[in-house]
Amino acid sequence: MLRNEKINEILLLMGAFTFAFFIGTAIHEFGHVIALRAFGIEQYKVIIHPFIGNQIIWNVNDEFIGYVDAAGPLFNILVGNVFLIAFWKQRQTIIPSILLLGPVALIQEGFNSLIQIILNIPESDSVRIIAAGVPGSVLTVIDAILFCLGVLILTIELPLYGISSDDGQIDRITTIMPGFIGYIAAIYLYNLAFNPMGATRGLVLIIFSAAIAALVSFIYIPVVNRIGDRLHCDVVQRDRKILSMVVGLAKGTIVLGLIFFN
């Protein structure tokens, strides 16, 4: 692969991933908001920050506990995958960022929930969902399925970002890894500088993204050959116009997140 071409592929993946990751976390919070509104609770505060992370603060009401908490993850997965299905046929031309919303939401929610259950994080969505009566074992199995499904869809989509089976394993991983880690590294550095309490979360996210990048690179050939081919997910070489749209969209959403929600 030519050097310039590789840099463009990294930027394309980085732009699409940044957009999908940040928008996914925002959609999650709006899921909580919709549930709160549906239950007639109007006193809450939503904090959205592209680098520190999001949070919703409400006077926890035992009657609605669990429902409000489940609405965040469910809404993120629903919106992301409705977009994925709606735009799947236009995958050659539509802004590639939108197609990542579905798998990124599945991975985000599956992984977050597993961490919350394993570390028993107080006041977290999953710990409250379990407190509301959903068996922890059932939720763990659902999370694992969501996570695996997300990784599978993400891998199937990689050819749409120019990742080809002609590239060697090293070539593939050195494109995918920086593509996934770019935004996460920015989260880590921001926290290191301005919010040291959040630096550990940043570090965990970096390790996690690197692991996902390694995993999808590793399973790329069998998955793309067996499933991707059947879904006609061919390699798409994106032109400069699409690349600047994807990068612009990522920058735009981050700037909007910084300006409007704080």
Q: Report if residue 110 touches Zn ion, rule: CB under 5 A.
A: no
> To the nearest whole angstrom, how small is the minimum distance from the Cβ of residue 107 to Zn ion?
15
Instruction: Decide: is 125 part of the binding site for Zn ion (CB under 5 A).
Output: yes
Q: 11 near 161, Cβ under 8 Å? A: no
Q: For residue 143, state whether it binds Zn ion (rule: CB under 5 A).
A: no
Residue 71 one-letter amino acid: A
CB of 261 to Zn ion, least distance (A): 15
CB of 212 to Zn ion, least distance (A): 21
Element (H, E) at 45: strand 44-47
Between 92 and 120, whose beta carbon lies closer to Zn ion?
120
First CA to last CA distance, the chain = 42
At closest approach, how far in Å is the CB of 115 from Zn ion?
Answer: 13
Q: Partners of 57 in the beta sheet?
A: 45
Residue of the chain from 72, 102, 162, 198 that contacts Zn ion (CB under 5 A): 72
Q: Which of residues 217-246 bind Zn ion (CB under 5 A)?
A: none
Which of the ranges 11-19, 69-77, 140-148, 204-212 carries the binding residues for Zn ion, by CB under 5 A? 69-77
In eight-state DSSP terms, residue 160 is G
What DSSP element (H or E) covers 68?
helix 67-87
Between CA 166 and CA 205 the distance in angstroms is 30
Positions that interact with Zn ion (CB under 5 A): 72, 125
